[in-house]
């Protein structure tokens, strides 16, 4: 409607100009004529821009085939202006502040901006190109400045504060009250109580940080995509067929003849696990761990220092001792020390197990008649040999039972058994890439209550890793169903061949779908409380508990079937696969904790600009007697979790915190003797998957489990010594 009114105004201006001035009107100036022309051009652009039009598509899904890169900047301009007007109207309202004219009005404001931003930033991660990256560099600081202008709007905050201070006097529902509390906390943590020059400086910091986050992520992507390792026929002869096929596909994606290894985790890790060529392993390993720290334009060291300095300044302006104190203050942990205590509790058992694993590898190196020391580029290769020998597991054989399509069926099956929802694939819904698939989620009454997009294969223009995002959050105000997307980076098979994945890949699939269900099953009254809008160290809980169902024989016997024969995975192979579940957990946990400790240390440091990044990493790791063969899982210069945004900054520990929750939480189903126990499943749905941020995270966990979590199950599940006895 606003667009129509705008067009009407433009039409009036054009009509007056065409008819000539009225008897008492002044002749238009050049500036006025220019403004009228600009208005006319803007109106025409709006009329043809699909991002600003109503989406006449199934369930209002994004019309990707109509959207071009050139549409984004004009659409952002219009949406930003509209949102500013809406916020100004709320802030300047003369009426007494109420939930409806302030909080509810804010929930309804900025719909176009939210819609456009969700589409755009999903594309920056999954289908980027030079033009999109340029728009991202321009828009990230602008959007940060726009958001800062809202949270630093004194009149707006005064209305929120008035409602917050009189909560007990107001007749509000539990979710209305929660929205007031969350909004007030978010505003105060975003500097709303700052005054004078501090307010302006705080806004500047947020804008500067947004630009640095974009720079960091684009540098990492540029370094990652620039490197390939060409494989000769001799190299290929020593590799499993699935590695050869993936290397051919990676080369074809880059218009390279032959076969290449890339720095996508799904490419380089299997190569490090299987290649007997130690020199090539070292070359690949060093390239993998050097992303963002090479002597080129993509070096991220100075970017890290700037980010850390600005974050510390930001935290100190808000009265916090450090950025770590600021970040953990809004989580379940509450303090940096609580997070560090948990990591310390797990570190020493994990290190002890890693030393045992290193000894096994060194024995195998000696048995091979080699005299070299164990290095980082040896660990995965020899670990695979030890695993194969100890558990009689051949990765090629294991993968033959893990078809991606069947694992997708499995994740849907678990959701149906736990929560009563079904998934039907749709081929009539637009996608942003031919590889993307779409399913509708139906409830027990066959009503479509969500859309799910699956984007599973690695390709140029897509960032590494795996993640869940959304094109639309569940909205209890207007009834909008959620539109959720999962991204993974599996190797795409050759035409006509099935996509086979490792057991770890299948776990990642389940993990991300757990996040996806957290968004899809959301049933809150307000979008700001919906789905994954929860504490950072709680958001991983739904994803990590969902992984447990993949490990259950009932699921694997049904869905782990041979890609050629259709035969289920043999019982003895399944038994050996499950027995290997805690294998190499020392390495995996130490690798993770290394990143967690460094992340926390960075954000506690008092003088970030003085840091030598590599030296600081080494200092932190040596302080805990780390094994030199096990570096950080994500070294600083490619640590996207903490430096490409604020999601996991000083919060990488969250995965371990959630590990305590998920292992303790799955015990509820074990104790019931049924992995689909209806009572436990209903409690998990009510308190976690559907609840969003409608109550504090610990209250939500206790609502599901009946008590606070215990660390015992985590130590036991990882097979650490302290769990025995």
Whose tokens are 């630093």? That residue is 152
pTM: 0.89
Active site residues: 512
Q: 267: which DSSP letter?
A: H
Ramachandran region of residue 459, left (φ > 0), alpha (ψ -120 to 50) or beta? beta
Q: How far is it, in rounded angstroms, from Cα 615 to Cα 610? A: 11
Q: Torsion over CA of 606, 607, 611 and 617, rounded to 10 degrees?
A: 10
Q: How many CA atoms lie within 13 A of 632 on its CB side?
A: 29
Query: Helices 72-91 & 111-126, crossing angle to 10 degrees?
Result: 140
Q: How far is it, in rounded angstroms, from Cα 161 to Cα 439? A: 42
Q: How far is it, in rounded angstroms, from Cα 616 to Cα 328? A: 22
Distance of alpha carbon 159 from the chain centroid: 33
Low-confidence ranges of the chain (pLDDT < 70): 1-45, 721-725
* pLDDT given for residue 495 in this prediction: 85
- Element counts in the chain: helices (H) and strands (E): 30, 7
- Helix, strand, coil percentages in the chain from 3-state DSSP, rounded to 5: 65, 5, 30
* pLDDT given for residue 8 in this prediction: 27
- Pairing verdict, β 437-442 and 448-457: antiparallel
Q: How far is it, in rounded angstroms, from Cα 703 to Cα 684? A: 8
In the sheet with 437-442, reading across from the earlier edge strand, the strands are 422-426, 437-442, 448-457, 483-490, 467-472
CB 585 within 8 A of CB 718: yes
Q: Token pair for residue 425?
A: 């694939």
* pLDDT given for residue 20 in this prediction: 32
Per-position DSSP letters for 639-684, written without gaps between them: -HHHHSSSSSTT-TTHHHHHHHHHHHHHHHHHHHT-TT-HHHHHHH
* pLDDT given for residue 1 in this prediction: 25
33 in helix, strand or coil? helix
* pLDDT given for residue 45 in this prediction: 61
* pLDDT given for residue 722 in this prediction: 44
* pLDDT given for residue 6 in this prediction: 23
């Amino acid at each position: 409607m606003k667009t129509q009114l705008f067009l009407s105004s433009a039409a009036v201006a054009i009509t007056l100009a065409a008819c000539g001035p009225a008897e008492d009107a002044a002749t238009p100036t050049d500036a006025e004529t220019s403004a009228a022309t600009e208005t006319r051009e803007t109106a025409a652009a709006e009329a043809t821009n699909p991002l600003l039009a109503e989406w006449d598509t199934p369930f209002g899904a994004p019309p990707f085939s109509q959207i071009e890169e050139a549409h984004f900047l004009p659409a952002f301009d219009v949406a930003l202006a509209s949102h500013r007007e809406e916020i100004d109207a709320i802030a300047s309202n003369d009426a007494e502040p109420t939930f409806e004219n302030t909080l509810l009005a804010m929930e309804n404001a900025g719909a176009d901006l939210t819609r456009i931003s969700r589409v755009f930033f999903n594309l920056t991660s999954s289908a980027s190109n030079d033009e999109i990256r340029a728009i991202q560099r321009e828009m990230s600081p602008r959007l940060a400045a726009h958001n800062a202008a809202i949270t630093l709007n004194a009149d707006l905050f005064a209305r929120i504060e008035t409602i917050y201070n009189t909560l007990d006097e107001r007749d509000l529902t539990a979710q209305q009250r929660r929205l007031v509390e969350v909004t007030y906390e978010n505003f105060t943590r975003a500097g709303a109580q700052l005054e004078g020059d501090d307010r302006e400086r705080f806004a500047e910091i947020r804008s500067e940080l947004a630009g640095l986050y974009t720079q960091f992520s684009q540098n990492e992507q540029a370094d990652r995509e620039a490197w390939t390792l060409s494989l000769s026929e001799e190299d290929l002869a020593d590799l499993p067929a699935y590695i050869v096929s993936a290397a051919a596909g990676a080369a074809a994606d880059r218009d390279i003849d032959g076969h290449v290894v890339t720095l996508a985790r799904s490419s380089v890790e299997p190569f490090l696990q299987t290649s007997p060529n130690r020199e090539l392993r070292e070359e690949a390993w060093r390239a993998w761990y050097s992303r963002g720290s090479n002597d080129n334009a993509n070096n991220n060291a100075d970017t890290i220092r700037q980010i850390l300095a600005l974050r510390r300044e930001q935290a100190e302006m808000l009265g916090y001792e450090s950025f770590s104190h600021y970040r953990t203050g809004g989580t379940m942990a509450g303090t940096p020390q609580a997070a560090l205590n948990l990591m310390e509790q797990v570190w020493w058992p994990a290190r002890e197990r890693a030393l045992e694993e290193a000894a096994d590898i060194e024995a195998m190196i000696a048995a091979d008649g080699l005299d070299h020391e164990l290095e980082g580029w040896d660990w995965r290769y020899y670990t695979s040999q030890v695993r194969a020998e100890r558990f009689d597991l051949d990765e090629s054989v294991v993968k033959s039972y893990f078809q991606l399509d069947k694992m997708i069926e499995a994740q849907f099956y678990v959701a149906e058994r736990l929560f009563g929802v079904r998934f039907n694939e749709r081929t009539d819904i637009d996608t942003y890439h031919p590889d993307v698939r779409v399913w509708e989620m139906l409830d027990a009454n066959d009503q479509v209550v969500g859309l799910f997009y699956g984007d599973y294969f690695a390709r140029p223009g897509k960032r590494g890793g795996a993640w869940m995002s959304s094109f639309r959050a569940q909205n209890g105000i207007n009834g909008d169903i959620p539109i959720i997307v999962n991204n993974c980076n599996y190797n795409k098979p050759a035409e006509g061949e099935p996509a086979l994945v490792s057991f770890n890949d299948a776990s990642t699939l389940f993990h991300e779908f757990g996040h996806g269900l957290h968004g899809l099953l959301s049933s809150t009254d307000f979008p700001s409380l919906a789905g994954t809008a929860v504490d950072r160290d709680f958001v991983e809980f739904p994803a990590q508990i969902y992984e447990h169902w993949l490990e259950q024989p009932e699921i694997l016997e049904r869905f782990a079937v041979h890609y050629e024969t259709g035969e289920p995975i043999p019982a003895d192979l399944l038994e050996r696969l499950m027995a290997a579940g805690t294998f190499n957990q020392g390495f995996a946990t130490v690798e993770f904790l290394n990143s967690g400790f460094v992340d926390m240390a960075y954000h506690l440091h008092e003088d970030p600009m003085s840091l030598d990044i590599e030296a600081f990493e080494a200092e932190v790791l040596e302080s805990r007697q780390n094994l030199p063969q096990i570096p950080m899982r994500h070294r600083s210069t490619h640590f996207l979790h903490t430096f490409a945004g604020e999601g996991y900054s000083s919060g990488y520990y969250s995965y371990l915190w959630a590990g305590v929750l998920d292992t303790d939480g799955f015990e509820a189903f074990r104790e019931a003797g049924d992995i689909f126990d209806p009572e436990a499943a209903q409690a998990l749905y009510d308190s976690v998957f559907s609840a969003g941020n409608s109550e504090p995270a610990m209250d939500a966990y206790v609502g599901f489990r009946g008590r606070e979590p215990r660390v015992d199950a985590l130590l036991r599940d990882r097979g650490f010594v302290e769990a025995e006895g």
